[in-house]
């Protein structure tokens, strides 16, 4: 069956609207994706028909909410080839990384030890490790990227030294689109006995992800970037790690028993889910997973690759345009600058034509510093984007160039 973008677009009600009288061309999917009607309807149905707290009540609504919430967890787990016990619901990628930093890594980090990250990381995969290193007296080692935006694999191997206690790497760069060879990075870290976390926020919506095949110790992603609700995400962790880790937050649902003398902890995954969770968000995330699987991750990846190739070719027709990030293995991100024109001006002007892109440092300031720019424009693809969207962006950019000329 052919990939029918027109049919898919009809699943997203927000795409029917006009912006400044023009058709909305939404190219800011790396920041957040739009939501299909199936996800919107599922969240609405929860609040209209099923709303109750989970895991505590014996009445019908509570039992129904619990059943639907845990069913969503099981489907999300299968989506990444994990077990439900290894699938922790969190607020998003940021919380997942902070959880690992403050439980698993803190317990094994000492003064003089090292944590390895890469130059292309999102701030959420830099700052938690900086804070931890400052508190313990450890050091952050940074693996550079080359002029194409590819990770320096020789430098990565060299960075894995006797003091390395942990590695944290991004699967797909939100600022460059680079797809890192995660399986190789995991194997090299494990060969030296070093555990590794993968930030998968920009990977899960765009390609099949199998955490067992990757072999990573932890994998983190956010619901809102994969056509699900905001405020919910997932931390996958190998069960043996999660069993050994202490809780991060204390409160309801993560306990087995509480006395003033001692508390004991609930089984996985609930040990890391203190308090009332984002029930509607978890159920909505399950609906988003169902939707992605219906469309097909392989088909999505192939389609977005075709659209990215078209975008790259057309961008090169624009005078003064510089593409930031030209790795051979890229996901659907086109970051660029226009000579003599500030990215914020570009973003505001193309918005007048109904085109939504992101401008700024994209929470990846070290990447901007690496390429000698304060900011870039970023067009990032979703499953509903097509070459017509790209052509609208390119036409608008030509207009911007003419205006400033």
Asked whether the predicted pLDDT for residue 106 surpasses 60, the reply is yes
In the chain the first and final C-alpha atoms are separated, in Å, by 46
**pLDDT at residue number 26:** 98
CA 240 to chain CA mean position, Å: 24
Report the pLDDT averaged over residues 199-218: 98
Domains of the chain from N-terminus onward: 5-31+296-400 (3.90.1150.10), 40-293 (3.40.640.10)
Which among 325, 333, 327, 324 has a CA at the least distance from the CA of 305?
333
Select from 21, 36, 42 the least CA-distant residue to 292.
36
Question: Which residues are annotated as catalytic?
Answer: 363
Residue predicted with more confidence, 278 or 251:
278
At residue 56, the pLDDT reads 82
Residues 6+ apart with CB under 8 A from 274: 247, 248, 249, 250, 251, 252, 253, 254
Whole-angstrom distance, CA of residue 200 vs CA of residue 233: 11
Global pTM reads: 0.97
Identify the bridge partners of residue 197 per DSSP, sorted by sequence position.
Answer: 168, 218
pLDDT confidence tier of residue 11, bands split at 50, 70 and 90 = very high
Count Cβ neighbours within 10 Å for each residue of 81-120 and write b for 16 or more, e otherwise.
ebebbbbbbbbbbbbbbbbbbbbbbeeebeeebbbbbbbb
């Amino acid at each position: 069956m052919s990939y029918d973008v027109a049919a898919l677009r009809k699943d997203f009600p927000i795409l029917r609207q006009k912006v400044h009288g023009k058709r909305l061309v939404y190219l800011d999917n790396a920041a957040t994706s739009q939501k299909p009607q199936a996800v919107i309807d599922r969240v609405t149905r929860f609040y209209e028909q099923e709303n109750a707290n989970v895991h505590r009540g014996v009445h019908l609504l509570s039992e129904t909410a619990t059943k639907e919430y845990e069913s969503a967890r099981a489907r999300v787990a299968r989506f990444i080839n994990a077990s439900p016990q290894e699938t922790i619901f969190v607020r998003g990628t940021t919380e997942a990384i902070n959880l690992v930093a403050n439980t698993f890594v803190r317990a094994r980090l000492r003064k003089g030890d090292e944590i390895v990250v890469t130059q292309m990381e999102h701030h959420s995969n830099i700052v938690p490790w900086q804070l931890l290193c400052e508190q313990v007296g450890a050091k952050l080692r940074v693996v550079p990227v080359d002029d194409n935006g590819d990770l320096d694999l020789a430098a990565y191997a060299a960075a894995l030294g006797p003091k390395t206690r942990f590695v944290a790497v991004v699967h797909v760069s939100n600022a460059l689109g680079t797809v890192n060879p995660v399986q190789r990075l995991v194997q090299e870290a494990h060969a030296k006995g070093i555990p590794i976390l993968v930030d998968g926020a920009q990977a899960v919506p765009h390609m099949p992800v199998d955490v067992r095949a990757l072999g990573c110790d932890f994998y983190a992603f956010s619901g809102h970037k994969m056509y699900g609700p905001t405020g919910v995400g997932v931390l996958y962790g190998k069960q043996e790690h999660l069993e050994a880790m202490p809780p991060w937050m204390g409160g309801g649902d993560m306990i087995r028993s509480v006395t003033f003398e001692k508390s004991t902890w609930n089984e996985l995954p609930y040990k890391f889910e203190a308090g009332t969770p984002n029930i509607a968000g978890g159920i909505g995330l399950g609906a988003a997973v169902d939707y992605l699987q219906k469309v097909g991750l392989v088909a999505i990846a192939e389609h977005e690759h075709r659209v990215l190739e078209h975008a790259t070719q057309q961008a090169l027709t624009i005078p003064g345009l510089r593409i930031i990030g030209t790795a051979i293995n890229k996901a659907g991100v086109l970051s660029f600058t226009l000579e003599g024109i500030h990215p914020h001006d570009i973003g505001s002007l193309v918005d007048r034509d109904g085109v939504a892109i992101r401008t700024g440092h994209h929470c990846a300031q070290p990447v901007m510093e690496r390429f000698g720019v304060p900011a870039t424009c970023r067009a990032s693809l979703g499953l509903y984007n097509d070459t017509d969207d790209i052509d609208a962006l390119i036409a608008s950019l030509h207009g911007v160039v003419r205006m400033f000329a």
